Amino acid sequence: FESRVPGIEEAAGAFLLEGDPFICRPYGSGHINTTFRVSCRLGDGSHRHYILQQMNKNVFTKPDQLMENVVGVTTFLRKKIIEQGGDPDRETLNIIKTKAGKNYFVDSLDGYWRVYQFIEDAFSYDLVEKPDDFYQSALAFGNFQHLLADYPAATLHETIEGFHDTAARFEAFKKAAAADVMGRAAGVQEEIRFVMENEIYTHVLGDLLAKKELPLRVTHNDTKLNNVMIDKATGKGLCVIDLDTVMPGLSVNDFGDSIRFGASTALEDEQDLSKVSCSMELFEVYTKGFMEGCHGSLTEKETEMLPMGALVMTLECGMRFLADYLSGDTYFKIHREKHNLDRARTQFKLVSDMKEKWETMKEIVAKCR
């Protein structure tokens, strides 16, 4: 074992691995969990690999519920993929049980561990290098929706309560602005006014869900590019990984969050707002991939609400950045003064830009149907 991490040897020994684990290296570039690749030597001299992960208990305070969600979804996906003639060992995560028959292991220091089959001959991108990367990611997340379209989403635990309850986020924002604990509100009146003027968008999707005009779906909630595995041989999206934030929610929110960060022409904390816009080329690339991946499993209303998902997720994110700035930067890590304010401003700039491009976004969605 190369890496001396408390509990790691105990953990590696607790799972039903094929062969003898002999090497364990930090792996990948995720920054929530601590991820290792375990190599095992088999009798015939060949190697078998696994992903061993220590779960981040600061972020995920309910690891038991979280693992129930992951088990539920991966078991369902595996069955679906087999039915459809796919390769269940590469097209979904697969949990390896512990020797005690459990889905995760708690070490003597109270660390939570799990093991996945290693998806061989695949990789993930950290950054969009070309539009096709974004397209492959869209296809994978669309297909994720498609495969899970008849999953009983309401049975999933809400592991982070109110994660995309935008109306509740708006209330929290108003509280932060009223409390003004840092005395910063006077300096950001324009931004506060922007949020207030856009209040209607904070409840439009929640209202549609309440009226059952939008269905409750399995959502991923962390639709980053590096949470999609790409097949080395074909360059195509193979599957979606990192299921820690799988929860009941709205498909248009997963879509919208991808657009929010993936179709922006600038970084999330760009200070020169003239560089910040929502690229319609990238919006089209993602919409096309997502809708193809969904294979018709989105309802009419969901399809119609895709641009709204993008707007609402961007507004919600901006509101959270601004609320955190007003509250003294207690949630999002900052690396410079007013960092969260800069972040809020890029999001609001994107919201305004999306409103200007509303008709174009609708046309693109119509074209991709």
Give contact residues for ligand ADP (rule: CB under 6 A): 27-28, 30-33, 35, 51, 93, 116, 118-119, 124, 226-227, 241-242, 244
Could you say which of Mg ion, ligand ADP, none residue 159 binds, taking C-beta under 5 to 8 angstroms by partner kind? none
Q: What's the min distance (Å) between Cβ of 66 and Mg ion? A: 11
Q: What's the min distance (Å) between Cβ of 31 and Mg ion? A: 8
Could you say which of ligand ADP, Mg ion, none residue 119 binds, taking C-beta under 5 to 8 angstroms by partner kind? ligand ADP
Q: Are strands 105-106 and 112-117 parallel, antiparallel or unpaired?
A: antiparallel
Could you say which of Mg ion, ligand ADP, none residue 283 binds, taking C-beta under 5 to 8 angstroms by partner kind? none
Could you say which of Mg ion, ligand ADP, none residue 368 binds, taking C-beta under 5 to 8 angstroms by partner kind? none
Under the binding rule (CB under 5 A), the answer on residue 63 touching Mg ion is no
Q: What's the min distance (Å) between Cβ of 339 and ligand ADP? A: 22
Phi, psi of 24 (to 5 degrees): -145, 110
Q: What's the min distance (Å) between Cβ of 366 and ligand ADP? A: 34
Q: What's the min distance (Å) between Cβ of 316 and ligand ADP? A: 21
* Long-range contact pairs involving 303-308 (C-beta distance under 8 Å, separation at least 24): 303/365, 303/369, 304/365, 305/205, 305/208, 305/214, 305/252, 306/252, 306/255, 306/256, 306/361, 306/365, 307/354, 307/358, 307/361, 307/362, 307/365, 308/201, 308/204, 308/205, 308/252, 308/256
Nearer to ligand ADP, 119 or 323 (CB): 119
Q: What's the min distance (Å) between Cβ of 31 and ligand ADP? A: 6
Q: What's the min distance (Å) between Cβ of 43 and ligand ADP? A: 23
Could you say which of Mg ion, ligand ADP, none residue 282 binds, taking C-beta under 5 to 8 angstroms by partner kind? none
Task: Pull the structure tokens for residue 281.
Answer: 């080329």
Could you say which of Mg ion, ligand ADP, none residue 27 binds, taking C-beta under 5 to 8 angstroms by partner kind? ligand ADP
Under the binding rule (CB under 5 A), the answer on residue 21 touching Mg ion is no
Under the binding rule (CB under 5 A), the answer on residue 242 touching Mg ion is yes
Under the binding rule (CB under 5 A), the answer on residue 227 touching Mg ion is yes
Under the binding rule (CB under 5 A), the answer on residue 32 touching Mg ion is yes
| The dihedral formed by the CA atoms of 65, 71, 73 and 78, expressed in degrees to the nearest 10 | 180
Find out whether 116 and 14 touch, Cβ atoms under 8 Å. Answer: no
Nearer to ligand ADP, 57 or 174 (CB): 57
Nearer to Mg ion, 225 or 361 (CB): 225
Nearer to ligand ADP, 136 or 226 (CB): 226
Nearer to Mg ion, 227 or 297 (CB): 227
Using CB under 5 A as the binding criterion, the count of chain residues that bind Mg ion stands at: 5
Q: What's the min distance (Å) between Cβ of 239 and Mg ion? A: 13
Nearer to ligand ADP, 35 or 202 (CB): 35
Binding site for Mg ion (CB under 5 A): 30, 32, 227, 242, 244
